[in-house]
Amino acid sequence: MPATIKDIKERTGLSLATISKYLNGGNVLPENKILIETAIKELHYEVNEIARGLVTKQTKTIGVLVYSIESLFNGTLLKYIGDALRKEGYGLLICDSNQDEETEQKNAKFLINKKVDGIIVVPVLYGSKVVEMANHAGVPIVLMDRSPENCDCDCVRIDNRMSALRATNVLIGKGHRKIAIICSAKEYTGIERCQGYKEAMTLAGFDVPEEYIYGDIHSIEHGYESMKKILALPDRPTAVFMTNYEITLGAVMAVNESELGCPDDISMLGFDDLILSHVTNPAMSMVVQPMKNMSEKAVELLLGKIGSDRKSETPMEIVLPTRLLEGNSIKEIKM
């Protein structure tokens, strides 16, 4: 049983209030200060944050909910979020939703009951239920990445549709007309990116046959299986657009296993670099999101909400730009 403030009270003969004051950076007589400090050292005293939290009603802890901790995308986000939070003196409680909405909700409840001061969520799907829970409990919340427009909640994300549109245009600009897409069709992000692709194709006046669109869950398997199907198509496209990290991974695997080569037989454009583009051979061209900036903005937004108790404001929506990382995975087709 660790030492408590009471132990150091007895050791020093001072009152609880004085000691507490010292602990919280208040002014104490130099002699008492020394008294307290030595007692703390000798007793190995450490503040019980649980007890402190009970009375101050704040835990200096932020909860983060990610849809999958084993996704490098989330790992990277978490690193930057952690860095930003640490700088402000906050700790963070990370919960893995494990790609499951029910787990996500259970975790949200866990965080709320743990009395975190705020929540950042990278949702499994839309996160709407979690937002509702947090609002109900009066806990500030910020959405990242998979946050729909008009979600009535503060959020930071990229312009998914525009990013996909521009990426598709890059392919078109290099002479491709038969372009397939592998995307997630479940959550907002994937749907929007697919929309952007379709718009670009329509604008350019190109067909988008059904068998060029592969929408399913956000997973390596989906990327892998879809790319296999694409490569086996009688009328094979000349380029494929993969709209997230896991799908890109899977697609690369499928091409590697096949007889066909990139970019000679098939051009590829991926999403969410995360070192992948340097590991593949050839180097993959990628749409990259500003991970660090997104994370910092999310933290800033959340901490702002915690500071000033302005509940009933219109939610803030921060939309960040993406950039294109050029590799050697896109073949130029002479027209």
Point out which residues bind a copy of itself (CB under 8 A). Answer: 1-2, 44, 46-51, 53-54, 59, 61, 68-72, 74-76, 78-79, 82-83, 86, 91-96, 98, 103, 107, 109-110, 112-115, 136-138, 220, 249, 252-253, 256, 275-276, 278-283
List b or e across 217-243, with b for residues whose CB sees 16 or more CB atoms inside 10 angstroms: ebbbebbbbbbbebbeeeeebbbbbbb
CB 57, min distance to DNA, A: 7
Residue 78: contacted member of a copy of itself, DNA, none (CB under 5 to 8 Å, by partner type): a copy of itself
CB 98, min distance to DNA, A: 27
Using CB under 7 A as the binding rule, whether residue 15 contacts DNA is answered as yes
CB 326, min distance to a copy of itself, A: 15
Q: Which is nearer to a copy of itself, 71 or 163 (CB)?
A: 71
Residue 56: contacted member of a copy of itself, DNA, none (CB under 5 to 8 Å, by partner type): DNA
Using CB under 7 A as the binding rule, whether residue 279 contacts DNA is answered as no
- For DNA (CB under 7 A), the number of binding residues is 26
CB 42, min distance to DNA, A: 15
Using CB under 7 A as the binding rule, whether residue 92 contacts DNA is answered as no
Q: Which of 10, 38, 56, 233 binds DNA (CB under 7 A)?
A: 56
CB 108, min distance to a copy of itself, A: 11
As a whole number of angstroms, the distance between CA 117 and CA 306 comes to 7
Q: Which is nearer to DNA, 18 or 248 (CB)?
A: 18
CB 51, min distance to DNA, A: 3
Using CB under 7 A as the binding rule, whether residue 51 contacts DNA is answered as yes
Stretch that binds DNA, among 46-54, 240-248, 278-286, 309-317 (CB under 7 A): 46-54
CB 306, min distance to a copy of itself, A: 16
Q: Which of 37, 43, 52, 282 binds DNA (CB under 7 A)?
A: 52
CB 240, min distance to a copy of itself, A: 16
Phi-psi region of 100 (alpha: psi -120 to 50; beta: other; left: phi over 0): beta
Using CB under 7 A as the binding rule, whether residue 38 contacts DNA is answered as no
Q: Which is nearer to DNA, 112 or 191 (CB)?
A: 112
Residue 185: contacted member of DNA, a copy of itself, none (CB under 5 to 8 Å, by partner type): none
CB atoms under 10 Å from CB of 61, counted, come to 18
- Establish how many alpha carbons lie within 13 A of residue 244's alpha carbon, considering only the half-sphere containing its beta carbon: 31
